Amino acid sequence: MTAIVGQRINPGVGPQNGTLPDIVVNRISGGPTYGLARSTGLIASRVQIECRAKSFSAAENLGAAVMRALKDFRGTVGDLRVTMMATGSDYAEHADDASVFRPIIDFYVWTTEPVAA
């Protein structure tokens, strides 16, 4: 994905009038998971990824690259170990003046709880 967006991967909100294409990542919801008697040690989160570009085709291509890179991803991100990642819903929208197109992809992510330092 960095071949397409460089370092333009933003948490929360992308810069207004920033260089496109870019990616905006938001954690929508999440929390610890529980078994019958106790915590499983996993955190389940819904993460939403906006793939923003100036044209519909560029936005769709970026969305497809994100899906290929993250679908079924397992590994370490910072101090978290991603144990499972699955795609949820996806949809597309655009700015009122059609200046920015953005497929929005939801992922369900299960991570281990970070180890306290």
> Reading across the β-sheet that carries 80-94, which strands appear in turn?
9-11, 22-34, 39-52, 101-112, 80-94, 75-77
Do the beta carbons of residue 108 and residue 73 sit within 8 Å?
A: no
User: Residue ranges per domain, the chain?
Assistant: 2-10+20-112
Lowest mean pLDDT among 20-24, 47-51, 63-67, 86-90: 86-90
Percentage, residues of the chain above pLDDT 90: 49
Amino acid residing at 32: P
Fold assignment, 2-10+20-112? STM4215-like (3.30.2000)
Output DSSP code: residue 12: S
106/30 Cα distance (integer angstroms): 13
pLDDT at 38 over 80: yes
Amino acid residing at 107: F
29/45 Cα distance (integer angstroms): 6
The confidence score (pLDDT) of residue 117 equals 54
